[in-house]
Amino acid sequence: MGVWHGIWTLILLIVFLGIVAWAWSAKQKKRFDEAGRLPLDDDKTPSTAQRNRVENDDG
């Protein structure tokens, strides 16, 4: 039973380190920077609520 716990721990550690390496890789930096700025960017298209309001006002 103890051997399986050790193997499972090792597998999870490898998966964790893989995720950390992927997240900190230079290839992902631009993508994550863009995603981080999304809440701060001005809306260029109207939201669904704004479109619904306009559609309801027309009819």
| Cα gap 14→11, rounded to integer Å | 5
What pLDDT is attached to residue 11? 98
Q: Do 19 and 12 meet the contact criterion of CB atoms below 8 Å apart? A: no
Domain that holds residue 28: 1-36
Q: Tell me whether residue 57 is in a domain.
A: no
Q: Tell me whether residue 45 is in a domain.
A: no
What pLDDT is attached to residue 6? 96
- Rg of the chain over Cα atoms, rounded to whole angstroms, equals 23
pLDDT in tens, the chain (59 residues): 899 999 999 999 999 999 999 999 988 888 989 988 988 887 666 566 666 676 666 65
Q: Do 28 and 22 meet the contact criterion of CB atoms below 8 Å apart? A: yes
Q: How many domains is the chain built from?
A: 1
Q: Tell me whether residue 8 is in a domain.
A: yes
Q: Determine which helix (DSSP H) or strand (DSSP E) holds 27, and give its type and residue range.
A: helix 26-37
What pLDDT is attached to residue 42? 75
Q: Tell me whether residue 6 is in a domain.
A: yes
